[in-house]
Amino acid sequence: MDFVPPFCPSSICSAHEKPGRSWFTRDGYYRPKCRRLPVPRFRCRVCGRGFSRQTFRHDYGDHKPHTNAATYLHLVSGVGLRQTARLVGLDVHSVQGKLRKMARTCRRLHDNLCVELRATEYLLDEEETYENASIRTVTMPVVIERETWFVVATTAGPIRRLAKAGSRRRRWQERDEKKNGRRPDASRACVRGALEDLRKRLPEGARIQLHSDLKSSYATLAKSVFGDAVTHLRTPGRAARTTANPLFPINTTLAMTRDNNGRLRRKSWLVSKKAARLVEQMQLFACYRNYVRTRFNRDLPGETPGRLLGLIERNLQAHEVLAWSQRWGRRSIHPTSVDGSRTHDMVAAA
């Protein structure tokens, strides 16, 4: 189908916010080396800016856009960066660059789709991993919706876990801190950030139930973020991890993160060298878990957490996740729009 630009990409143009009728004119096309079909060009009648369909695409500037979907699926299927590079025919540094770019698009897509959550029960827990060396521990808090297992928020940051005094590991930690300085502990800041991410997606005045284990900081942080609007239910972390355990959904979700993200596996050389790279990987995983993958194997095809929550009308394919740039917020093109004529705001209003 012919691409129809929804607005002028120039933020200072009046046709950016309120494009009128016939606000653009077609201005030929060009033939990129990486595509078989020509890419149409346009020109804004209001500001005179020239642009093309690629201006609105995620793969703007990519030299090998045909590898994007495969790269994405490998990275959320437990495959490491180097093996992904071998499988799709890229250099490992190219895969690293694609990962960072995909993470930005996935984060923005999640923000554009998950504007308001009507559910009332959520679960919180932290997963521990490390960066670069096992003595440099990292925490990764995750918040999910209880019924659909929808991943609402996740982040990562350094924490300080000292080994037993006098042990060889403790001496290793002391040498590392003497060289690099005392390792910070960002556990509370990361958990607060995840809870505040949840709060901004809730309707005004909404009351929720938050399930977690007995970690003392969770109670004070939940109270400081939600005030009296939260009912905090706590379950011992050592309770049997059966389906009767209230924390079963979050425990299983954290197990899935280790299965789908190679860098979270214990004692693996795929480990992240920096916590920031882990955050980017989790942004890919959250999009995959929420909008691409069926919630449970027993569910009907396409029954993703995002669809069950009413955030999107159907499940997405990998190439749709990476179809359109999401940098314009809710005015960005909706991932299910083939010709680019529908934005998130238009879909919500329909």
pLDDT tens by residue, 155-166: 999 999 999 999
pLDDT at 37: 87
Q: What is the Cα–Cα distance from 320 to 57, expressed in whole angstroms?
A: 11
CA nearest neighbour of 208 among 147, 148, 118 = 118
pLDDT at 33: 85
Q: What is the Cα–Cα distance from 182 to 54, expressed in whole angstroms?
A: 46
pLDDT at 228: 95
Lookup result for tokens 């990486």? 34
How would you classify the pairing of strands 24-30 and 39-44? Answer: antiparallel
**Domain-wise residue ranges, the chain:** 14-110+312-349, 116-275
Is residue 300 a contact partner of residue 310, using CB atoms and an 8 Å limit? no
Six-digit token string for 306: 């995002």
pLDDT at 35: 85
Q: What is the Cα–Cα distance from 141 to 262, expressed in whole angstroms?
A: 18
Instruction: Supply the DSSP symbol for 57.
Output: B
Low-confidence ranges of the chain (pLDDT < 70): 1, 350
Residues contacting 298, CB < 8 A, separation 6+:
none
Q: For domain 116-275, say whether CATH 3.40.1030.10 is its number.
A: no
Assign 87 to helix, strand or coil.
Answer: helix
